[in-house]
A and B are shown apart, each in its own frame.
Chain A
């Protein structure tokens, strides 16, 4: 008996439309909606279906809790294969499908299948080995997509690895990401061989691509500095002594803001730096060495600019993934823009 667990959002599970997007996770011991069609097509193989239904907004807002409930269901149901969607071009649904599939594949090493349109933002959340069947932009391609889901599942049920690999090449979205593979030559051998090729004028291939960062338009001040409000931001991990919000000392998962209202400088003993990437003992002696409040106050009094924002923002950058830091940066930018801040002075270590 092959067990299949199927993740659907509130709409495809028949719970409701957008008004039910906040619905929490439900486990149903049967196939539902399109899952029932897949189950029917696989009847000859003897599959047992169960369904996880989760509101798109709920997953986005309470991902940790949602995954906990799904974990309990998996530990009870013991699926052999996991499917999510199809989500076509639905963004929140696609991201949820991608995240859950990746998490299931990582933690249980069972095949995980989803189906997305190439523009679905969920394609940026796909982990290794997940199958992402390419779909059209809307449910108009549902029938064809379900046929392909069934085709893939038949290969997986039969243990046909090369068939599954061929399927991936033919029907899955090409989403190139960099993962570890094992070669039969050690790095020191390949390095000497590459160098000798270079020295002999022979062709050689650099194994690590130089990835250009996306360049953004650089904003310029629209009003004079004298009329501008400036905020201080740092990635140096400086927090009030005692680290009340438990900022991590590497790979900050969140940013925090702390009041500097009424302060002319940052006093030793009132702040500490949580950061494994630099020797924090010097800034612990005088925290203005990482968040230059005292200097900013001098220049504020001289009216070099209009006002210093009453909070500074902080996270810890060392070891972090750029995409996570971009997310935190967006959050900080949104808050600052909302508070009427015109410019930022950011310190990094």
Chain B
């Protein structure tokens, strides 16, 4: 099984009459976008904005970001399970606009009637300044869709609409007519390699619980499936889609289809290791026994794959950490060595226990940094996507004013802190 990626990148984005890519210059047409999304945006007003890396812009109420990907050949369509009938993906050719995101921002129409656990969390993207290394998306171009639903739209309908619109928009952009644009070519495959190389699998634990905190695999909620083995190429074709609005700790849809963990293991495949593939599992199981079982099943899958070791990371925090640690423990108990990546919650003054749960088997931890440390956040010149920040249900804040907050205000910050190289250390 192999997938050819055609990676186009842009260095310029602007509005124009027709949507087209010329060299590295992307022109977008509002009229074409409005027509594209017309049947999906019933009762929802859409404002379109363009944002570039380095601009002094702050995007607020970010719900998701989607990478433009579209299949040119091979089975199925990108983001399978949402647009078509079930077909496997991960073969043939897929075009991508590598450094552009379709970014959806907005607030649910009946926000107050969501239960506390369902309520989306505030997430902002600072394109410049002190926050940029903490926000996922700060180094991309963005087409921002700011959604303003009528009060008559239900939460369930809004949830579906924002997802369908962003996925359709992303596919449309990847299929745009291209002139004088040379893509970089990349092959995603797990070819046979020297069997002396250590065999490594990737444990990919997502959050999937209920509406507004769920993740989809081929359009099915992962809370309703068993942990399973997934070929890396399926990720690149958008087999995993996010419906999780726990902003700072979510894995955006665009990151699911462009995972640096998968890329790192693919790059080393055949050189320092034999990458066996990905085990997709889920955290936030409802009871301790279920968390233990999830761990045992994942370890069993790793053993069946023949893994000598696993790299593991998770989406989420809190009780999802327990599922994660049960997984790490179960692997170590099977003799499968683990390297597990996690953020720390050492408190604003650095004194608290770093992790919610830390069994002794988890002896190969990689830190993403202290996510409860306060940062002084100055304003940026422009705010897109809303008028007020929701400081996680405790207060409102004017996004044009400075404030002191921890990285949990930043969209996708747990993943981004990791990829920015942050970690926590003892300091006097």
A residues neighboring B (CB under 8 Å): 102, 106-107, 109, 124-128, 168-169, 172-192, 194-196, 198-200, 204, 206-211, 213, 237, 248-250, 273-281, 284, 318-319, 321-323
Contact between B372 and A321 (Cβ–Cβ < 8 Å)? yes
Interface size on B, residues (CB 8 A): 73
How far is B368's CA from A188's CA once the two chains are assembled, in angstroms?
10
Which A residues are CB-close (under 8 A) to B394? Answer: 248
Interface, chain B (partner A; CB < 8 A): 115-117, 119, 133, 198, 200, 209-210, 260-261, 263-265, 268, 272-273, 308-311, 313, 318-319, 337-342, 344-355, 358, 360, 362-370, 372-374, 376, 392-394, 404, 417-428
**Do B115 and A179 have beta carbons less than 8 Å apart?**
no
In the complex the two chains form, is A172's CB within 8 Å of B311's CB?
A: no
Are A102's CB and B349's CB within 8 A? yes
Pairwise interchain contact A178-B426, C-beta atoms closer than 8 A: yes
Quick check: A195 and B337 within 8 Å, CB to CB? Answer: yes
Once the chains bind, are B350 and A128 in contact (CB under 8 Å)?
yes
Query: A126-B349, A277-B318 are contacts. A189–B427 as well, Cβ < 8 Å?
Result: no
Contact of A195 with B115 at beta-carbon distance under 8 Å, contacts A127-B349, A177-B350, A178-B346 already known: no
Evaluate contact between A196 and B319: CB separation under 8 angstroms. no
Q: Which residue of B lies closest to A206 (CB)?
A: B365
B115 with A210: CB separation less than 8 A: no
> A180 to B374, alpha carbons, bound, how many Å?
10
Q: A210-B358, A279-B115, A321-B347 in contact; A180/B370 too (CB < 8 A)?
A: yes
B364 touches A187 (CB 8 A): no
Task: Look across to chain A and name the residue whose beta carbon is closest to the beta carbon of B261.
Answer: A188
**Are the C-beta atoms of B427 and A179 separated by less than 8 Å?**
yes
Give the chain A neighbours of B423 by CB distance below 8 A. Answer: 180-181, 183, 187, 190, 207
3 nearest A-B residue pairs (beta carbon): A177-B350, A187-B418, A195-B339
Whole-angstrom CA separation of A284 from B417 in the bound complex: 37
Bound together, the chains give a CA A176 to CA B426 distance in angstroms of 5
Given the interface contacts A107-B376, A188-B264, A207-B366, does A322 sit within 8 Å of B426 by beta carbon?
no
Which of B265, B309, B374 is the one whose CB lies under 8 Å from A106? B374
Chain B residues near A125 (CB-CB < 8 A): 349
Expressed in whole angstroms, the Cα–Cα distance for A109 and B351 within the complex equals 21
Is the pair A188, B424 in contact by a Cβ cutoff of 8 Å? Answer: no
A-side contacts of B425, CB under 8 Å: 178-179, 181
With A183-B421, A206-B365: A280-B115 Cβ-Cβ less than 8 Å: yes
* Nearest Cβ on chain A to B214's Cβ, whole angstroms: 12
B354 and A318: CB pair below 8 A? no
Closest to A200 in B: B198
Q: What are 6 residue pairs bridging A and B, where the CB atoms are less than 8 Å apart in the complex? A: A106-B404, A194-B339, A195-B338, A199-B308, A211-B354, A237-B116
Closest to B347 in A: A321
CA distance A200 to B364 in the complex (A): 14
Q: Determine the chain B residues whose CB is within 8 A of the CB of A273 once the complex forms.
A: 116
Once the chains are docked, how many angstroms separate the CA of A275 from the CA of B355? 21
B31, chain A: closest CB distance, angstroms: 40
Chain A residues near B272 (CB-CB < 8 A): 196
Contact at B260–A278, with CB atoms within 8 Å? no
Given A128-B350, A177-B426, A186-B421, 10 other A-B residues pairs in contact with their CB atoms under 8 A? A107-B376, A179-B373, A181-B369, A188-B263, A188-B311, A191-B313, A195-B338, A199-B198, A207-B365, A284-B115
Complex Cα gap A183–B421 (Å): 5
Name the residue on A nearest B367 (C-beta): A207
Nearest to B370 among chain A residues (CB) is A180
Name the B residues within 8 Å of A210 (CB-CB): 358, 360, 362
- With most chain A CB atoms within 10 A of its CB, the pick from B119, B422, B423 is B423
**Chain B residues whose CB sits within 8 angstroms of the CB of A172 once the complex forms:** 428
**CB atoms of B339 and A191 under 8 A apart:** yes
**CA A173 to CA B425, docked complex, whole Å:** 17
* Contact partners of A250 in chain B: CB under 8 A: 116, 392-393
Partner of B339 from A181, A198, A249 at Cβ < 8 Å: A198
> Does A198 lie within 8 Å of B309, measured CB to CB?
yes
CA–CA, A178 to B393, complex, Å?
Answer: 27
Kindly identify which residue among B260, B310, B344, B419 contacts A178, using a CB–CB cutoff of 8 Å: B344
B264 in complex: contacting residue of A192, A319, A321, CB < 8 Å: A192
Cα(A323)–Cα(B349), bound, Å: 11
Please tell me if the beta carbons of B427 and A176 are within 8 angstroms of each other in the complex.
yes
User: Would B364 and A204 count as touching, CB distance under 8 A?
Assistant: yes
A172 to chain B, nearest CB (A): 7
CB distance from A227 to the nearest CB of B (A): 34
Minimum CB–CB distance from B80 to chain A (whole Å) comes to: 25
Interface residue from B263, B344, B349, B352 paired with A208 (Cβ < 8 Å):
B344
Distance in angstroms between the alpha carbons of A207 and B368 in the assembled complex:
9
Knowing A188-B418, A190-B366, A322-B352, the reply to whether A195 touches B117 (Cβ < 8 A) is: no
Q: Is the CB of A176 within 8 A of B358?
A: no
Contacts of A321 in B (CB 8 A): 345, 347-348, 352, 372
**Chain A residues near B311 (CB-CB < 8 A):** 188, 191-192, 195
Instruction: Compute how far the CA of A274 lies from the CA of B112 in the bound complex, rounded to whole angstroms.
Output: 12
What residues of B have a CB within 8 angstroms of the CB of A177 in the complex?
346, 349-351, 426-427
